[in-house]
Structures are given as C-alpha cells and as structure tokens.
Amino acid sequence: MKLIGVGFGRTGTMSLKGALEQLGANPCFHMIDLIMGENKERDLANWKRIADGEQVDWHEVFDGWEATVDWPAASRWREIVDAFPDAKVLLNHRDFDGFYKSCENTILAIKKAAMAGEMKPDANREPPSPVLWEVIEKLIWQGDFEGRFEDRDWVRQMYYDRIETIKREIPSDRLIVWELGVDGWEPLAEALGVPVPDEPFPHLHDTNEFRAEFGLAPVGA
C-alpha cells in the first residue's frame, strides 16, 4: 500500500481514486469496487467479515491494491494505518455543510429509495447487493454515524472531531491534508514522489451524476 485515505466519502473520493491511479497508486480501492469491481465477490466477502466484527489480516484484505479512499475503508482507518506503517495517510475533507448535503442527496437518498422499493430496474449502474447494504449499514450508518445521521449538530461535531483526531494521531511527515475544491494534484504527487500532471484534476461523481447512476432524478429537478 502506498497511500491510505482516511477521510469520509462524499469528499471528492471518486476524483481522488482517478487521480491516485493516474499518479501510479493503481489500483485504488473505493466503495465502487464493491459494486462493480473485478474482484467484488472476494472483496465484499472480506468487508462482510469486517462489518461482522471479525479479525482480519489487512494485508490479505488489500492484496492487489496500492491505495484506498472512501468508505468502507475509512471506517476502519486506525487499523489500516497501523497495518501499513510505510504508507502515506491522506486526510481528504471538505466543508461540513457540503459534506452533509451531499450525503443526504446521494447515499441516504439511495438507501431510502431502496427501502421504499423505488430503485428503478433500468438504472445505469448495478445496485448494491444485499450483502453490501448490510456492510454499509453496519460500518457507515451504525458505525461512523452511530445511527444518528439525522442529528445534524451531532454529525457536525463528530465530523470535525474525526479530522482533529487524525491530525493529532498521524505524524505530520506521514500525513497529507487535502481539501476538496482547494487542493489538486500537488499534495498527492509530492506524497507519491511523482511529477505533477499537466492537465486538470479529475472531477468525477458529483451529486447528480451519482443519483443518475441509480435512476434518481437530479437534485432540483
């Protein structure tokens, strides 16, 4: 593992996945790989064990991967960081209000649509499997959010506490702090010791693109 992303999802993680893979940390594990990745059956079986509280060999879990960003890995950031002491640690973040709104309009909206039986069968992307829904529920909704996502003030405090905890626990010479909409290639390229690409930073998987892939109407439509 070259780099471990410890920030929450909906903070530019799909763009980061594309950028990191272009910079040579390829492949980079992301939630999308549990939906449509080449090894999704193997990887999902590992993450079900993790969600069920089993002890795992993190080197086995990340066999074949050179980086990770997004959930579900971010929910187990301490264990993964400890398992790969030579990997750089990426704290990806954004302003809280943008993060919370994005979660409401994407992962929460998909969850509600699925629970209501409103997922369209002709959506542009294969829906998450029942096992992945279980992993997401245990590690994200009941894990990081402790079943309190609707309590916006609590989530705000938890969000900023997590950022400060990571900054406090990870040595500065190992940590890269990357803010969505502010930072681009430079911190990532420097961390990986590669040149900065002479092209725009990827911009992937915004809210309406996410919703369209699961057959939901655009926000504001």
Residue 220 belongs to a domain = no
Instruction: State the CATH number of the domain containing residue 68.
Output: 3.40.50.300
The reported pLDDT for the residue numbered 126 is: 65
Residue 218 belongs to a domain = no
Cis peptide upstream of residue 72 (ω within 30 degrees of 0): yes
Residue 219 belongs to a domain = no
pLDDT one-digit tens code per residue, 76-125: 999 999 999 999 999 999 999 999 999 998 777 777 666 666 666 555 65
| Sheet strands (E) in 86-145 | 88-93
Domain that holds residue 99: 3-213
Residue whose pair of structure tokens reads 């309406």 in the numeric block: 208
Alpha carbon dihedral 183, 188, 191, 193, in 10-degree steps, equals: -130
b/e burial code for range 118-135 (CB count within 10 A of at least 16 → b) = eeeeebeeebbeeebebb
The reported pLDDT for the residue numbered 107 is: 77
Maximum Cα–Cα distance across the chain: 48
User: What pTM does this model have?
Assistant: 0.90
Residue 127 belongs to a domain = yes
Residue 31 belongs to a domain = yes
Whole-number average pLDDT of the chain: 91
User: What Cα–Cα distance (Å) separates residue 31 from each residue in 44, 136, 184, 214?
Assistant: 10, 9, 21, 15
Residue 94 belongs to a domain = yes
Residue 180 belongs to a domain = yes
Residue 221 belongs to a domain = no
pLDDT one-digit tens code per residue, 125-171: 566 788 999 999 999 999 999 999 999 999 999 999 999 999 999 99
Q: Please count the structural domains in the chain.
A: 1
Alpha-carbon span 196 to 95, nearest angstrom? 25
pLDDT one-digit tens code per residue, 2-25: 999 999 999 999 999 999 999 999
